[in-house]
C-alpha cells in the first residue's frame, strides 16, 4: 500500500499523458502542500513532524514517520504515525500521490495522527478552452480508527469532488472518480487530502489524483451575439 509500490505506475500514467507537448498552460497561483504526523505514548513525550516542499510548485517527494514501542519491557504498546506524498505540477498537468498510516496498540498509547494535504491554485489565461481529464483513485481501511480521503477540482463553473471515509468500525473501502469536460480561462483549485487516526488498532490508505489538460477544444456559441462573432 505504500508509495514505493505504486510510484512507477504514477510516473507511467503522468509521463504518457504529458508526452512531448508539455506547454505552459497552467499558470501557478498558490501552493500549499504539507505532511504532518503526531504520535505519543503516555510514558514518554510525543513527537510531531512536518515536511513541505523547499520551494513553491517544486516537485515534492518525502516520507515522515514517528514510531514508539513499549513503555515497559513486557507490554505490547506500539504507536506509529506515517505520511508520504509525491506531487508534481507541470505545464499542463498535476499528479498527486498520498499515503497515510496510523497504528495505536496497547494501554499506554495516547495519540497517532497522520496527514497529507495538497492545495494548488492555477490559472488558465485568455485563449481557447481546453479539454481536461480528472482521475481520482482511493483505497483505505480502518480497524478501530478513521481514515478520510478527499479530492476536488473547483473554480470558474466546475466542481468535481470525491470523499471516502472509513471507520471507526472495521472497514475497507475504495473510491474512484473520473471526470472530463472543458475548462476556459479562469482560476481553479485542485485539493487532495488524506488523514488517518487510530483509537485502537490500525487505519491507513492511499489516494491518487491526476489532473490533465488534453488540448484545445471547440466551444459552441451559447448566445446570438457569440454566434454572430464567429462570422465577423
Mean pLDDT of 140-144: 91
| Residue 111, domain extent | 3-229
The grid cell for 152 is: 476536488
Nearest by Cα to 103 from 125, 82, 72: 82
**Residues 47/39, Cβ–Cβ less than 8 Å:** yes
Biggest distance spanned by C-alpha atoms of the chain: 84
**Residues 105/200, Cβ–Cβ less than 8 Å:** yes
Give the model confidence (pLDDT) of 16-72 as tens digits. 444 334 568 889 899 999 999 999 888 777 899 999 999 999 999 999 999 988 776
Inform me whether the pLDDT recorded for 15 exceeds 60.
no
Inform me whether the pLDDT recorded for 170 exceeds 90.
no
Give the model confidence (pLDDT) of 112-133 as tens digits. 999 999 999 999 988 888 999 9
**Residues 2/99, Cβ–Cβ less than 8 Å:** yes
The grid cell for 149 is: 480521503
The grid cell for 36 is: 504532518
Looking at residue 218, its pLDDT comes to 65
Inform me whether the pLDDT recorded for 232 exceeds 50.
no
Looking at residue 54, its pLDDT comes to 92
Is the previous residue joined to 168 through a cis bond, with omega within 30 degrees of 0?
Answer: yes
Q: Please give the Cα distance from 88 to 104 (Å, whole number).
A: 32
The grid cell for 183 is: 475548462
**Ramachandran category for residue 127: left, alpha or beta (phi over 0 → left; psi -120 to 50 → alpha):** left
**Residues 232/221, Cβ–Cβ less than 8 Å:** no
Give the torsion sign (CA, 58, 4, 210, 191).
Answer: negative
Looking at residue 74, its pLDDT comes to 66
CA 36, distance to chain mean position in Å, is 14
Report, in angstroms and rounded to the nearest whole number, the Rg of the chain calculated over CA atoms: 21
- Which has more confidence, 218 or 169? 169
Looking at residue 223, its pLDDT comes to 55
The grid cell for 27 is: 499558470
CA 23, distance to chain mean position in Å, is 23
Inform me whether the pLDDT recorded for 231 exceeds 50.
no
Question: Pseudo-torsion of CA 146, 196, 56, 125, nearest 10°?
Answer: -30
If one counts the domains in the chain, the total is 1
Question: What pTM was estimated for this model as a whole?
Answer: 0.83
Looking at residue 219, its pLDDT comes to 57
Amino acid at each position: 500500500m505504500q508509495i514505493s509500490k505504486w510510484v512507477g505506475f504514477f510516473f507511467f500514467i503522468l509521463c504518457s499523458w504529458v508526452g512531448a507537448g508539455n506547454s505552459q498552460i497552467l499558470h501557478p497561483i498558490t501552493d500549499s502542500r504539507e505532511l504532518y504526523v503526531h504520535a505519543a505514548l503516555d510514558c514518554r513525550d510525543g513527537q510531531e513532524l512536518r515536511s513541505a516542499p523547499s520551494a513553491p510548485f517544486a516537485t515534492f517527494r518525502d516520507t515522515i514517520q514517528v514510531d514508539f514501542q513499549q513503555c515497559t519491557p513486557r507490554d505490547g504498546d506500539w504507536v506509529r504515525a506515517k505520511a508520504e506524498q509525491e506531487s508534481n505540477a507541470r505545464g499542463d498537468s498535476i499528479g498527486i500521490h498520498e499515503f497515510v498510516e496510523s497504528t495505536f496498540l496497547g494501554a499506554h498509547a495516547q495519540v497517532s495522527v497522520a496527514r497529507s494535504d495538497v492545495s494548488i491554485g492555477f490559472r488558465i489565461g485568455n485563449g481557447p478552452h481546453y479539454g481536461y481529464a480528472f482521475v481520482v483513485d482511493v483505497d483505505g481501511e480502518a480497524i478501530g480508527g478513521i481514515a478520510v480521503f478527499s479530492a476536488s477540482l473547483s473554480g470558474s463553473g466546475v466542481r468535481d469532488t470525491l470523499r471516502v471515509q472509513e471507520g471507526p468500525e472495521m472497514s475497507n473501502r475504495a473510491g474512484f472518480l473520473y471526470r472530463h469536460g472543458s475548462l476556459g480561462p479562469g482560476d481553479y483549485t485542485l485539493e487532495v487530502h488524506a488523514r488517518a487516526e487510530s483509537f485502537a488498532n490500525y487505519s491507513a490508505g492511499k489516494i491518487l489524483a491526476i489532473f490533465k489538460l488534453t488540448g484545445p477544444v471547440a466551444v459552441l456559441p451559447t448566445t446570438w451575439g457569440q454566434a454572430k462573432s464567429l462570422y465577423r
